[in-house]
Amino acid sequence: MISRNLTNRYVIAKIFHGFCFTVAWSGVLILGVLLFHVTQEGIQWLDLQFLSDFPSRFPAKAGIHSALIGTLWLISLTALFSVPIGIGAGLYLEEFTKKNRIRQFVDLNISNLAGVPSIVYGMLGLVIFVRWFELNQSVLAGSLTMSLLILPVIIISTREALRAVPNTIRQAAFALGATRWQTIYAHVLPAAFPGILTGIILALSRAIGETAPLIMIGALTYVAFVPDGPMDDFTALPIQIFNWASRPQQQFHELAAAGILVLLFVLLLMNSIAVFIRHRLEKKNR
Amino acid sequence: MNANQLANVLSKKKKEVEDKIVLQAHNLNISYDNELAVKDVSIDIPEHSITAIIGPSGCGKSTLLRSFNRMNDFILGAGLEGKVLYRGIDLYGKDVDPVEVRRKIGMVFQKPNPFPKSIFDNIAWGPLINGYPKKGIYELVEKSLQAAALWGEVKDRLKSSAMALSGGQQQRLCIARALAMDPEIILMDEPCSALDPVSTAHIEDLMFELKQDYTLIIVTHNMQQASRVSNFTAFFESGYLVEFGETQNIFTLPKNKRTEDYVSGRFG
Amino acid sequence: MIKHSKLLLYDSPIERKMTPKWIPHNRKTRRALEEKMVRWILFTCALVSILTTVGIIVSLLTQAIPFFQEVRPWDFFSGTRWSPILIPQSFGVLPLVTGTILVVALAAGVAIPVGLATAIFLSEYAPNKMRQVVKPSLEVLAGIPTVVYGYFALTFVTPQIQNFLPDLLVFNALSAGLVMGLMIIPMVSSLSEDAMLAVPRSLREAAYALGATRMEVSLKVVVPAALSGIVAAFILGISRAIGETMLVTIAAGATPKLTFNPLESIQTMTAYIVQVSLGDTPQGGVAYQTIFAVSALLFVITLSINIFSGRLLKRFREVYE
């Protein structure tokens, strides 16, 4: 009787193993299906003309140039605002404050902000940047909104990177008569930098793909020019993709797929650069 | 010699001894989150000597040591009552900048903690941020490494990473790093406990040499090390300073029974 | 002995012996000033995070309050017809809420079992080589922008399902829900996996030593031990799904309907907000203010869920410390 129970248990256990295995790999499979489908639909439209033309009512003439340049503008400005503020805030909270009630409250606040839907950030941008600051639908308003959106992510990953630096390094520096900032600048930041950089790239990758906040602040969906300055109107890759995907014609759907390929390529490029820089930095630190 | 002359010589000698006290603790009480770790400790550390602080684990030795260079300031919930006097100046006084204190009283830690930079940068950083002119820095690094008996082993690879050194070498590097600041007192918190016997012997030899120009205060678990190396020994138990005196007296003729029990291995 | 050359900062040893008194003084030098300045700059950076929350609350309230002065809250929260633009106007938000719930429920139905099973696979079963493929794939899935998922739902998933269910409309809740589930699988999986990895090995080893199979150890020992972390993972995934915008805008439709039929086209709270923003509704009117009211509702819902799961996560972290 014992052995029959055992056989049953083994059979069930094997079935379960198979189930988990299948499920886990089906995630990989579906990723493959998704990428294949997008490529299949969009690759035909992907050429130099596509990258240099503006959107048009005629699919054959449509291109993604304004969206691509707009995205580049957006990311540059977003990085300009969010990276220093995010790292600064992370430094302050992790190195210059003690674990008291106030800090716990701030921590809670930041982790809540990380979970707020992006469209709510869009509302924030609309009311504060577009209306109150009177920035209208400019790249500046868009990048300020995006910066606030990804700020919690940068702060959290900066703090984790700082926490990973062993405390013995700080103690050694203090024992030599260094001030807090001298210690952080010379030893803690360099050691934490690979982790901080990874967090920044992750945050910016997220920002590149976000659409809803930009729609809220009024980034136009049909833009046939590129921004000349931060106060200009703009569009961005995800918005253009959304625009094309929302049209009923099959050809526009295919254009959307091509746009997606461009977007995915940009993301891939960014992450590869990040991995590369991180490897170089870690090699230097050894 | 008549009685007067003898009295003069004796009082001069007493004054000499008094002048030679470089660090003092008066009725020191140190607590973490309201629990006392160091209880009513008063101790006088003479200069140009090695003072060993011994005792069973967790009895407050490291806490006392850290209070001498204000490293306890970084621990949340640490409270201090009483005085720590460095050549008569209260280190915890209102006008005293803890950063300055640490420039005069250096520290070497239990586990060697070199910066993840080159050997040269490890030693040069402290002096440079304190205003040492760049012109003399190479000389300073060389002299510090020589004083720490490490120069010969690393002189051709000063720019290589400090993390590639062995444990004993790293600890000597940390000592050189502390020496480069030209402190008057060097605190050592169990400096050899993470090292092998050969490295330990090297560092103990180093301690003998250093005591001519510096004052060393060492916390150690290792009684044999204390008896080998130190001039004075303080025995701690449960936060109390049980006995303090010349090392040979502590180990051969202790006045306190608890001391005698500890040094003869009956506990701890 | 280190002999220093004559420098201002260091007393030579001979000098030291002659003048043993060292007078400490609080240097108001450039360095102390620099230190203070740095602290202030960093402090203002940290302040931005507090200001952001204040900003969100203020920007939502400034328009939501006038809205609720025009529309009775009771009508808003319990009305079953949502038609703020078309006459006759009706401001019952329930259709939007049910639209959201429908899609999120479908997503959870996919993501929770799949995410948990994937997490169990990765933490209890997978050999290293497999982990090196599965984990990065999940990370890629997590990094794909949501417009791409919306596109995928509309142009691939819906046609495929239509092969089996010809009644399926082009815009429907089913495709959107399934793909949204796919979208949050990485989050559920990695958070659950973290929770399970935190369970000490000794617990597993004790069970194995008693003759349990791997499945029994996973389901009866590890998962229960990591339960609060796993539940927190589910809840966070759901919160993310509730706030998701572009996927549902592209694939689920723009028809607010009080229904639980996944084959129909519906509208979620988020999709409604996008629709109004893209349209020509005059700003300042009640119709336009609806987006603030709906945003506020969305914000409160996701905030409550996040705070709750945060408390749960804190409890799970404490148990093993």
Asked whether the beta carbons of residue C10 and residue B182 sit closer than 8 angstroms, the reply is yes
User: What percentage of chain C has pLDDT greater than the value 90?
Assistant: 36
A136-150, A237-251, B172-186, C23-37: least confidently modelled range:
C23-37
What is the pLDDT at residue C313?
A: 74
pLDDT tens digits, C24-41 = 333 446 677 888 889 899
Assigned superfamily of A50-285: MetI-like (1.10.3720.10)
Do C230 and C287 lie in one domain? The reply is: yes
Question: How would residue B18 be classed by pLDDT, with cut points 50, 70 and 90?
Answer: low
Do C302 and C233 lie in one domain? The reply is: yes
Task: Write down the residue that tokens 């109107």 correspond to.
Answer: A233
Lookup: tokens for A10: 């083994």
Counting as contact any 3 or more CB pairs under 8 A, the partners of B are A, C
Q: Looking at the domain assignment, is residue C100 inside a domain?
A: yes
Q: Average pLDDT in the B205-222 region?
A: 89
Phi, psi of B243 (to 5 degrees): -155, 145
Q: Which of A166, A174, A191 sits opposite B71 (nearest CB)?
A: A174
Do C30 and C99 lie in one domain? The reply is: no
Which of C70, C96, C119 is the last residue before a domain boundary?
C70
Question: How would residue C320 be classed by pLDDT, with cut points 50, 70 and 90?
Answer: low
The C-alpha angle A73, A78, A84, rounded to 5 degrees, equals: 135
Q: Which residues of C touch B148 (CB under 8 A)?
A: none
What is the pLDDT at residue A192?
A: 92
Do C174 and C293 lie in one domain? The reply is: yes
What is the pLDDT at residue A121?
A: 95
Q: Average pLDDT in the A92-116 region?
A: 89
Do C59 and C133 lie in one domain? The reply is: no
Q: Looking at the domain assignment, is residue C234 inside a domain?
A: yes
* C residues 239-258 closer than 8 Å to B (CB): none
pLDDT tens digits, C70-91 = 888 888 888 888 888 777 788 8
Question: How would residue C4 be classed by pLDDT, with cut points 50, 70 and 90?
Answer: very low
Tell whether C9 is within 8 A of chain A (Cβ): no
What is the pLDDT at residue C6?
A: 31
Indicate if the pLDDT at residue C318 is higher than 60: no
Do C288 and C171 lie in one domain? The reply is: yes
Do C114 and C29 lie in one domain? The reply is: no
Task: Write down the residue that tokens 């009552």 correspond to.
Answer: B81
Question: How would residue A4 be classed by pLDDT, with cut points 50, 70 and 90?
Answer: low
Do C50 and C164 lie in one domain? The reply is: no
pLDDT tens digits, C277-291 = 888 777 777 888 889
pLDDT tens digits, B86-119 = 888 888 888 788 888 898 899 999 999 999 999 9
Q: Looking at the domain assignment, is residue C8 inside a domain?
A: no
Q: Is the peptide bond before C224 cis (omega within 30 degrees of 0)?
A: no
Do C189 and C228 lie in one domain? The reply is: yes
Alpha helices in chain A (DSSP H): 2-42, 48-52, 65-95, 101-114, 118-124, 139-163, 167-175, 180-183, 189-209, 212-217, 237-245, 250-285
What is the pLDDT at residue B178?
A: 93
Tell whether C30 is within 8 A of chain B (Cβ): no
Domain count of chain C? 2
pLDDT tens digits, A194-252 = 889 989 998 999 999 999 999 988 877 667 777 788 888 888 899 999 988 888 888 88
Asked whether the beta carbons of residue C58 and residue A127 sit closer than 8 angstroms, the reply is yes
Phi, psi of C45 (to 5 degrees): -60, -45
Tell whether A281 is within 8 A of chain B (Cβ): no
Q: Looking at the domain assignment, is residue C1 inside a domain?
A: no
Range of the domain at C246: 82-316
What is the pLDDT at residue A90?
A: 93
Asked whether the beta carbons of residue C277 and residue A215 sit closer than 8 angstroms, the reply is yes
Q: For residues C267 and C270, what is the distance between their CA atoms, to the nearest angstrom?
A: 8
CA distance A88 to chain C (A): 5
Asked whether the beta carbons of residue C16 and residue B184 sit closer than 8 angstroms, the reply is yes
Which of C43, C70, C97 is the last residue before a domain boundary?
C70
Q: Which of A166, A177, A187 sits opposite B103 (nearest CB)?
A: A177
Nearest to C240 by CA among C296, C305, C295, C291: C305
Do C127 and C230 lie in one domain? The reply is: yes
Q: Which residue has the higher pLDDT, A234 or C147?
A: C147
Which of C70, C98, C114 is the last residue before a domain boundary?
C70
Report the mean per-residue pLDDT for chain B.
Answer: 87
What is the pLDDT at residue C10?
A: 37
Q: Looking at the domain assignment, is residue C63 inside a domain?
A: yes
Report the mean per-residue pLDDT for chain C.
Answer: 83
Indicate if the pLDDT at residue B59 is higher than 60: yes
Strand partners, B32: B35, B78
Give the pairing of strands B21-32 and B78-86: antiparallel
Counting as contact any 3 or more CB pairs under 8 A, the partners of A are B, C
User: What percentage of chain A has pLDDT greater than the value 90?
Assistant: 45
Under DSSP, the state recorded for B267 is -
Contact A124, C58 (CB under 8 A): no
pTM: 0.86
Reported ipTM: the value is 0.88
Asked whether the beta carbons of residue B89 and residue C22 sit closer than 8 angstroms, the reply is yes
What is the pLDDT at residue C2?
A: 41
Sequence ranges of the domains in chain A: 6-45, 50-285
Q: Average pLDDT in the B217-225 region?
A: 89
* A residues 94-123 closer than 8 Å to B (CB): 98-99
